Structure 1
Amino acid sequence: MVATDNFQKTSELDQFNLAAYLKERQQLCDQALDQSISVVYPEKIYEAMRYSLLAGGKRVRPILCLATSEMIGGTIDMAMPTACAVEMIHTMSLIHDDLPAMDNDDYRRGKLTNHKVYGEDIAILAGDGLLALAFEFVATQTPENVLPQRTLQVIARLGKALGAAGLVGGQVVDLECEGKTDTSLETLNFIHNHKTAALLEACVVCGGIIAGASPEDVQKLTRYSQNIGLAFQIIDDILDITSTQEQLGKTAGKDLTAQKVTYPSLWGIEESRTKAKQLVDEACAELASFGAKAIPLQAIAHFIINRNH
């Protein structure tokens, strides 16, 4: 019976039209993000914030948030303010990451980076503005049918994912390891569990919390998101080696230039792909108890390791 159930789930997953699902959800996210910031005085800062926030991208993070909310029993409307917030935070991290003091990149999503258009000073402030707006947006735009304590939990989790215990801490260790060829696997995992996986975890778990996820659900969502977060980074490391700037929309080969230790440099490309697939399989298994409702999240997990940019 178990084998039959597994076959049925695999068949349903194969039949799921992920491309159409992602396109529809991406359009919803783009519309909500476009409406989230109006250009008023002083126009330059709002224009700079909109420039990066609306520069395109796959919108994987907000879509993960929406998909989790729906799986738990919530709605898109309930989760959209949180979904927008995670994309604002993500965009802030990209603006700051591209600065000369960090990764020093000229291109992002196929366009000039924020500081190349508006200058370093405005780029820093645009990132700050998006970060502040993210928390304001969750607090003021979450619908009244969401219990206030859920909204508070979301705000707390977003803050932790972003701060020294999350993205910021991972970035610090990443900077410290530049040019060091003896970086250990343990340190590399720390960097990416904090710099990449922490925000992905917040996207998924916050989407669940908004919809009323139980403590047991939150544990499953946490394990799912941590696994796909690490898989996401492994594939990013591979693409940095195998793809062109045109394919990536950003400078290729940065890790090699910065003499960074990566998963492919430790394991090789093929073993890295195998590890990423194992992580995704483990992530999908965490959602088995949700049945067919989990198919979008499982499909997104497979998309993460099969993407080419």
Structure 2
Amino acid sequence: MTAALVAVGLLLGLPFAGVPAVRRLAGLLPPREAAGVLVAGAVLMAGVTVAALVALFHVPFLAVLERVPFAEVVARWPVVVPVSAAAGAVLAVQTGVLLVRRRRQRAVLARAWALAVEQAPAVEQMPAGGRAPAEGGPGGDVLVVADDRPEAFALPGRRGSGGRVVVSTGMLRLLGPTGREVLLAHERAHLRGRHHLLSALVDLAGAVHPAVRGLAPALDFQLERWADEAAAERAGDRRVAAAALARAALATGARPERGPLMAVGTGPVPRRVAALLGPVPERPRGRAARARAWGLAAAVSGAALVASAASYGLHEYVEHAARVLVGH
């Protein structure tokens, strides 16, 4: 049982070392690839954490399945009851937090759609290829809401309805034709990339292990950078795109909260603008940069393989220990 506890301790401590490595690796990659690395890292570390806790929690149940008297289990492994109870309590809390967070995500989306339906008489729609609301008609992918406050965000699809870009009349008055084009391209990139799902995955993974929450701000930044680059490509001029997005983001104000609605003001706007004023992001070039990136990738991949092997080995160890108790 001591070996099992040591293995669990290592597995539960892995995310504290893995999160900084994943963040550093993501910082060396273009936004789209960086977002994939962050999501994969968060899901992997959350999965390892759950596997470690389940391995501890199911020790008494293995004894029951092997028809071992519970008194004998406690006699051989005195710590089995408190450790298993603690693991079960943590799993129960994690499950409750996951359900609450998922319910909150769905509630935010439902309220946003309800508001859009409620304001339908005051809303214009613009087709996917339209450059301005005046060119629109029914069935478009842009909802223009009559509101003097500058607002713009991507509204994911729900119950068979496709996603929409919601933009206020106040925002449209703030931006010229080119700025509107850049803004719509930015929000449409969020919808095409299904960024709300990536954000939701990392948010849920953060409920499993506290260290994983450190990946959420990094993912928010990379998702916005991903959409910024799509908008810059659409505009054909990185400086024009940077100016338009900066104006729109600063008008809406900072958006520290996370959720299914990807707003143009999310993330550190000055860093996003500075990145747009620089060259198009590429994979690391140069021997030193490539070596650093490959080194981090190897470290993260190696840690993932070790964690997976340790999780499997932990379950095998617990099952073997249960067999030993019955003399197999």
TM-score class normalised by the smaller sequence: under 0.3
Using the size of structure 2 for normalisation, the TM-score is 0.25
Bigger fraction of residues in helix: 1
Using the size of structure 1 for normalisation, the TM-score is 0.27
Which structure has the greater CA radius of gyration? 2
More relative contact order, 1 or 2 (CA 8 Å, 6+ apart): 2
